[in-house]
Amino acid sequence: MPSETLTRLSKWIADSGYCSRRAACRLIEAGHVNVNGLPGKHTDRVSANDVIHVEQHLIQPFPELEYQIYNKPVGIDCVCSEEDPDSIIHQLKGKQRVFPAGRLDKDSHGLLLLTNDGALCQKILHPDFFHEKEYCVVVDKAITPLFCLQMAQGVEYNGTRTRPCKIIQTDTHTFLITLTQGMNRQIRKMCRSLGYTVTHLQRTRLVNLQLDGLSSGTFRDLTSEEVKTLKNTLRPNRPDELQETAEAISKQSSSGL
């Protein structure tokens, strides 16, 4: 990037691979970012001529971009904290700095995308992009057709209603669910509101990325074709597309029960 090009501070930090843009905003808000020796502000625009420190680390902009899949085991926390013995950061020792593009609960496991591509991470996390995430879920009692229909049409809890989703029952207590949003502990809360408790939750797919037999606790680099397809898929939807998508998913889910 030319030195005269000015970039918003949070985007610069994300593009450096230090963390996601959302996390960068939190670090700025908490006073953990300095620009040329002064506290960083959300309105700051910076370039390669500026000296930027985050949590006392000098930020080196624009490293080679890395994309990896990690099959996260249960018990690993996606929060990047040196002080937390269960933090994913301790699994990344010796690797070029990457960070999770989104999170999986500590008591869930499965596919996690790790990258230092801040722009890509921002697109994956943005709620307007409606990217698919597929999970295999086991609950504590037998699943009914009504449960599947209610999950597919969207569930209301804590004053909000979830988007319509795809759901396929695969066994008496097991189903596959494909979400296009990522609210905190969403599947567990959806099930709880309908009288079920999740006993097992695994993410099996994120957009075009799949585990494909990757062993628990191990990593693999994305292929160039996977990265290309992922980037080509990451585009926002227009409001009319979002409505059509929601109606189609609801219709398909209901007709399949």
Alpha helices (runs of H) in the chain, residue ranges in sequence order: 9-15, 21-29, 118-125, 145-153, 186-193, 224-233, 239-255
| Residue 159 C-beta-side C-alpha neighbours within 13 Å | 0
Question: 14 φ, ψ to 5°?
Answer: -65, -45
β-strand partners of 52: 35
Separation between Cα atoms, residue 143 and residue 112, nearest integer Å: 27
117 is catalytic: no
Catalytic residue among 50, 77, 105, 117: 105
Separation between Cα atoms, residue 230 and residue 207, nearest integer Å: 7
With vertex at residue 209, the alpha carbon angle to CA 162 and CA 76, rounded to the nearest 5 degrees, is 75
CB 96 within 8 A of CB 16: no
Q: Which residues are catalytic?
A: 105
